[in-house]
Structure 1
Amino acid sequence: MNLPPPGIIYSCGYQLRTLPDFLQQLQQAHVTVVLDVRETPWSYRPGFSAKPLRAVLAAAGVEYEHARYAGNPKSLRSRADSHQHCLGLYAEHLGQQPEIVTQFDCWLQPQLAQGRNVCLLCYERHPADCHRAVLLYRWQALTGHDALIVHLNPDGAPRFTTQDLTAVQALVCV
């Protein structure tokens, strides 16, 4: 069995996923820690709220951490007139509050240095529809880190935008 190299950053959205499917994705990628980047770690989808998710992940040998600071603030989401506009507002938010990316970097660098495979979790299945991609690409742009970013099985759910990841990366050019 070929194992992935250590220190990969994964990204996964749970839109239209079941908890067993999500766990299978993590296990196949040898993820060791999930960083929940939702502002509020709550979900209508069974098992994806913080407390039950933490328990299921722990039973599977995967750590769970919540990074409220990295969430897309409700104030931005309510102001946006489209999903794509919301991602642009989040990119501006990160530009105005660089301490968010600094805090993320302070958490992430030791994980990567220890060879851990990290997975950022949010709702939107396709990364080009989610603020987690904006956060990751802003982090890479600011730090110059060339860590491998892999988006786990992003297809299979309705899209919220028509943009691709290149458009998301363009949002965060510094």
Structure 2
Amino acid sequence: MHEITTIGYEGTNVADFLQALTDARVALLVDVRALASSRRPGFAKTRLAANLQTVGIEYRHLRGLGTPADGRAAARAGRHGELRDIYLAHLATDTAQADLDVLEGIVRDGKRIALLCFEADPSHCHRSMLADALAQRLPLRIEHLAPHQAPKD
């Protein structure tokens, strides 16, 4: 069985975020934000990749697995059912399926990954739906990390 983790950076700082990833033995952070920018210091694409490199974690951005703008607006407004409908429709697109193929290949190669998005609560984030879609393709154990707590063994 393959294993993946997911993580959100909402409400955390870079040091705690990196600690959660290293505690979970993550080798590759897969950024699944449509836009890999952030107003939070240290979490925009270039700076995030540099921060990860300091602890020996690789970075990969799979833009096609991000949430479309209308889905992000629904998430910000707390309309999680609407987010789900929008994201699942997006996940069926050719672009998203191509990046899902890439993600599946990474997981099959045995690299310990974490899927990254913003929301702290994975149930309010598309990364849970993405992990579930990946689990439809291969046997998968999913762990949701929280930067302020150590992962379960």
| TM-score bucket (shorter structure) | 0.7 to 0.9
- In structure 1, the residue matched to 2:89 is 92
Distance 1:70 1:126 in 2: 18
CA spacing shift, 1:154–1:21, aligned 2, 3 Å? closer
Gapped runs of 5+ residues in structure 2? Answer: none
Query: Alignment partner for residue 35 of structure 1, among 14, 27, 30?
Result: 30
Percent identity, aligned pairs only? Answer: 33
Q: Is the 8 A contact 1:72 1:131 kept in 2?
A: yes
TM-score, normalised with respect to structure 2: 0.84
Q: TM-score, normalized by length of structure 1?
A: 0.75
Give the aligned residue type for 1:40.
Answer: L
Deviation of 1:103 after TM superposition, in Å, equals 2.5
Partner of 2:79: 83
**Which residue identity is paired with 1:91?**
L
Equivalent in the alignment of 2:64: 69
Q: Report how far residue 89 of structure 1 moved.
A: 1.4
Q: What is residue 113 of structure 2 aligned with on the other side?
A: 118
Larger Rg: 1
Q: Which runs of 5+ in 1 are unaligned?
A: 157-174
Candidates 12, 16, 30, aligned match of 1:17: 12
Give the secondary-structure state (helix, strand or coil) at the position aligned to 1:153.
coil
Confirm or deny that 1:8 pairs with 2:3: yes
- In 1, Cα distance between equivalents of 2:62 and 2:40: 20
What do you get for the CA RMSD once the two structures are aligned?
Answer: 2.3
| Greater fraction of residues in strand | 2
One-letter code of the match for 1:152?
A: L
Question: Is 2:148 aligned against 1:151?
Answer: no
Tell me how far apart the structure 2 counterparts of residues 24 and 149 of structure 1 sit (CA, whole Å).
19
Task: Give the distance between the partners of 2:4 and 2:71, measured in 1 at CA.
Answer: 26
Identify the structure with bigger relative contact order (alpha carbons < 8 Å, sequence gap 6+).
2
Residue 166 of structure 1: aligned partner: none
- Counterpart in the other structure of 1:165: none
Q: Using the alignment, how far apart are the partners of 2:147 and 2:86 within structure 1?
A: 23
Q: Which residue of 2 aligns with 1:104?
A: 100
Residues in 2 aligned to 1:13 and 1:78: alpha-carbon distance in whole angstroms: 17
The answer on whether the counterparts of 2:6 and 2:116 sit within 8 Å (CA) in structure 1 is yes
Shift of 1:23: 0.3
Question: Using the alignment, how far apart are the partners of 1:59 and 1:66 within structure 2?
Answer: 18
- Asked if 1 retains the 8 angstrom alpha-carbon contact of 2:30 and 2:116, the reply is yes
- Determine the C-alpha separation between the residues in 1 that align with 2:91 and 2:108: 24
